[in-house]
């Protein structure tokens, strides 16, 4: 019966896409549309190009091909993989982010929840900016560093910010698992420990039970995006939003789902726009992008086709 229901849902979804001639989660608002498209930078991907983090993992790199063109200094993004995944599972998404001028580093760590290897990536690029033999020599803005990640890597991205002593300025956790999924205390995170920086929590509406938007009043601990959001201390900039439709692994779409990406329903499309705008707002001082997130009046509050359960304290 379940198989029949899923098949019927897939057929209905496919019919809707054919009728609309647009991908799922296609933007309906101007800011969303701008950052949905690829940015102005060509992108180079270098798998295992640098060595190593504190656990001996090599680093993958995604960066603008013409580094430092016109004197631009690129902000740094350090990525955390989901459990048993490598950054190659997220190539479409990471290349999209890099096309907007970011240099992205991803440790080849399949268990990144502790956050140390994610922080190691940021430290590696910070050092590379001062290394005359590095391609990144004086090409990076080491004062503008962000972390982001998927699933266990979302946990690690938050932990990396907490451990960074202020070096990491913002974090974008995607499909952050509830604390009940922590393998051990070191692989857990607690947003009440954020004392600086900013956070944009993103989940898919069908990512239940791993990263549900809300939790029942009887639940204990941080088991939902709403609970993680509420736990962020006063004074820390925070936004949350639930993307309508995707489940746990849609961010691995290329851009559509593939047979080996499970569970995936719609693909990466919805994760391209506002996550990119967030990093542009936080790390490139992009005021247009920032207009998406202003509390109560930001564009994301009115994008009810693709987003729901939005909250923000951005002034």
pLDDT band at 259 (very low <50, low <70, confident <90, very high): confident
Let me know if residue 3 belongs to a domain.
no
More confident residue, 262 or 92: 92
Per-residue pLDDT tens for 159-170?
999 999 999 999
- Could you tell me if residue 44 is inside a domain? yes
Across the chain, mean pLDDT equals 93
Q: Which domain holds residue 50?
A: 25-312
Q: Are 231 and 158 in contact (CB under 8 A)?
A: no
Locus of tokens 């009940």: 180
| Residue 13 forms part of a structural domain | no
3 has a pLDDT exceeding 50: no
What is the residue whose two structure tokens read 């709403």? 226
Domains contained in the chain, number: 1
Res 260: pLDDT: 85
Asked whether residue 12 is domain-assigned, the answer is: no
Q: Establish whether the linkage from the previous residue to 263 is cis, with ω within 30° of 0.
A: yes
Say if residue 18's pLDDT is above 60.
Answer: no
What is the C-alpha separation between 204 and 245, in angstroms, rounded? 6
Edge-first strand listing for the sheet containing 74-80 = 43-51, 58-64, 103-107, 74-80, 140-150, 168-174, 198-204, 237-243, 307-312
Q: What is the number of alpha carbons within 13 Å of residue 97 lying toward its C-beta?
A: 31
Residue 6, in any domain of the structure: no
Cα(221)–Cα(192) distance, rounded to whole angstroms? 11
CATH number at residue 115: 3.40.50.1820
Report phi then psi at 312, rounded to 5. -160, 150
Closest CA to 275 of 173, 176, 191, 129: 173
The answer as to whether 91 is a domain residue is yes
Q: Determine which of 19-23, 120-124, 228-232, 254-258 has the lowest per-residue pLDDT on average.
A: 19-23
pLDDT reading at 178 higher than 70:
yes
In a domain, 5, yes or no: no
Closest CA to 270 of 27, 96, 82, 29: 27
* Calpha distance 170→18 (Å, rounded): 38
Q: Is 79 helix (H, G, I), strand (E, B) or coil?
A: strand
What pLDDT is recorded for position 8?
A: 35
The answer to whether position 166 is within a domain reads yes
The answer to whether the beta carbons of residues 63 and 86 sit under 8 Å apart is: no
> What b/e readout covers 255-270, taking b as 16+ CB neighbours within 10 angstroms?
bbbeeebeebbbbbbb
What is the bridge-based pairing of β-strands 168-174 and 198-204?
Answer: parallel
């Amino acid at each position: 019966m379940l198989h029949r229901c899923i098949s019927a849902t897939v057929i209905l979804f496919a019919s809707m896409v054919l009728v609309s001639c647009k991908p799922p989660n296609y933007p309906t608002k101007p800011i969303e549309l701008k950052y949905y498209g690829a940015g102005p930078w060509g992108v180079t991907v270098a798998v295992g190009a640098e060595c190593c983090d504190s656990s001996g993992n090599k680093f993958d790199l995604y960066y603008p091909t013409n580094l430092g063109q016109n004197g631009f200094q690129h902000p740094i993004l350090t990525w955390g993989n989901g459990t048993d995944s490598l950054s190659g599972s997220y190539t479409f998404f990471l290349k999209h982010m890099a096309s907007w001028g970011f240099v992205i580093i991803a440790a080849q760590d399949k268990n990144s929840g502790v956050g140390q290897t994610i922080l190691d990536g940021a430290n590696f690029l910070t050092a590379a900016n001062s290394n005359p033999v590095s391609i990144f020599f004086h090409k990076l803005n080491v004062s503008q560093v962000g972390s982001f990640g998927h699933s266990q890597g979302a946990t690690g991205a938050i932990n990396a910010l907490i451990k960074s002593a202020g070096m990491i300025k913002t974090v974008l956790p995607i499909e952050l698992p509830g604390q009940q999924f922590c393998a051990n205390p070191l692989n857990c995170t607690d947003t009440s420990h954020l004392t600086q920086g900013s956070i944009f929590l993103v989940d898919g509406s069908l990512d239940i039970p791993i990263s549900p938007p809300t939790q029942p009043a009887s639940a204990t601990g941080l088991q939902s995006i709403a609970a993680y959001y509420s736990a962020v201390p006063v004074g820390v900039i925070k936004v949350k939003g639930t993307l309508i439709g995707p489940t746990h692994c849609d961010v691995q779409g290329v851009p559509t789902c593939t047979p080996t990406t499970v569970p995936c329903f719609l693909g990466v499309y919805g994760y391209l726009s506002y996550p990119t705008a967030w990093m542009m707002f936080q790390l490139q001082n992009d005021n247009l992008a920032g207009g998406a997130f202003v509390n109560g009046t930001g564009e994301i509050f009115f994008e009810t086709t693709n987003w729901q359960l939005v909250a923000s304290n951005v002034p």
